[in-house]
Chains A and B, each alone.
Chain A
């Protein structure tokens, strides 16, 4: 029996209702509540009535202008992100160029992908503690290795030096994520119209030219996406630095997430200050997402351009083929 003209639109609301409900309760309310706490005097383990401060922005001002530790955590977060992201991107692009180059025809790509991606799936906490144990002083595997290879005369106390401690944290992040970035970029290259590469080959473009003139421009959207998701991920960096050295030596690996955690949950119970710091992190993440949103909207225009380019290339290819035939 077929009923005509049934209005199904209410199911749209019903099916999305659990999502909306869970979001309102577990995301939106906590965010608003966090923002509210940021304006209050909520401190201490025992709950008591809280008041909005006379100067509502006091917590924010204190953090920005008087709290050296908070500023340092922002700086560290940015520094650790840059030092891991640039080499990560360079290596991922290099591997992408190699793996997608048909002329080179690299074998064993499947196995390489599986192995290079592997660190990404293992618990970050485990990796952090593993590395702090590998770099142990005076005798740890890395010190033994350096000694065996004759790179060092005396054991090195890696974890007490600010530069090496930061370097190792950045290296772990790099090591965990370049495989992921590489797989995404390779998928992006696979999505490029093969005719572009063919016509480039016919035009006599070498590997470098093909990579810089065709592959990179076509990957623009994916590169942006990777950049911004990596920035938001880097902003919330917690597991590795927390379990690697708990912020030391001398706060040189203290990140913003660790600052928030430390203020609220490690004995000082400064919930208001932690909330204000969270809000600043939220604003930065929101700004980054907004940027991505804006840039992704531009896509249609970019697509049009791409299509035009492809057409031009095709025309050229056709012309070249015609020329070959005539010749």
Chain B
């Protein structure tokens, strides 16, 4: 009996060691490509072609100079991406919360059909309507404008779904009733009382909406053709062009610059992001 138990703990120790090794390997696998990217952004092209190194070198500024010489304007790209992503995020979270509140609080004839409708359109890929969308925007002369990248964010079915679940779990009708008694209109009740109550859910969804818009390539690539309108992901595609064929140092520099803001955001907010991913998956 004693022997059995001892071999059991020994087994567990072995399997725990294996698990830690696998996990550490996977963690290294997550970090290594980005590590090489940041390190190589500071190394000269000959150094990079000479072999792998995990320690930074001293050519950061020269790489940056080569990069900026070739009409790569990360600040403009950053600004464009920021304008699009933040406006789209505001649209998404505000109007989705509003719609979810409308769904939960009021009883109206089409309520359940509206909910079914949201469930149905939740998974329509934007690529499926891209051709019609482009032609439509072309006729409106809205290509090379940020509006077609921002306004569609008002209708975000998955976010409405999430907000509805959140409200169902947290909202008590007494708050709404009380504010009505105090003479508050329905809109100001929502803006002043309900929206602040929804902040945890709003923050989570805002992070994901922002990142999704920031990383979006397909729609901006179709709609934006003027260089000064390019977003970050389109600028990345420029790095694949012929002008950078041999300038490895500056390619890594450009990649590092486009990824850096996301790393900063991720390490500041990773706790909330992980919780958000977990919540998003448990759709019950």
Contacts and interface: CB of A to CB of B under 8 A. Distances in A.
Interface of A: 1-2, 8-16, 18-23, 25-27, 29-37, 42, 47, 95, 98, 103-104, 106, 108, 110-119, 121-127, 129-134, 136, 139, 141, 144-145, 148, 175, 179-180, 183-188, 190-191, 221-222, 225-226, 228-229, 232, 235-236, 238-239, 242-243, 246, 257, 260-261, 264-265, 271, 274-275, 278-279, 281-282, 285-286, 288-289, 292-293, 299
A243 B251 CA distance: 14
Contacts of B283: 225
A27 B121 contact: yes
Binding site secondary structure of chain A: helix
Binding site secondary structure of chain B: helix
A264 B131 contact: yes
Interface residues of B, number: 101
B89 interface: no
Contacts of A122: 34, 259, 262-263, 266
B146 interface: no
B64 interface: no
Contacts of A10: 108
Given A117-B273, A130-B255, A225-B281, A281 B133 contact: no
Contacts of B15: 104
B281 A12 contact: no
B82 interface: no
A55 B23 CA distance: 58
A274 B236 contact: no
Interface of B: 12, 15-16, 19-20, 23, 26-27, 29-31, 33-34, 36-37, 40, 48-52, 95-96, 98-99, 101-103, 105-111, 114, 119-136, 138, 148, 151-152, 154-155, 157, 160, 181, 183, 186, 190, 211, 214-215, 217-218, 221-222, 232-234, 236-237, 239-240, 248, 251-252, 255, 258-259, 262-263, 265-266, 270, 273-274, 277-284
Contacts of B108: 9-10, 12-13
Contacts of A112: 23, 26-27
Contact of A29 (B40, B136, B251): B136
Given A114-B274, A222-B282, A133 B12 contact: no
A179 B157 CA distance: 24
Contact of A293 (B98, B120, B237, B265): B120
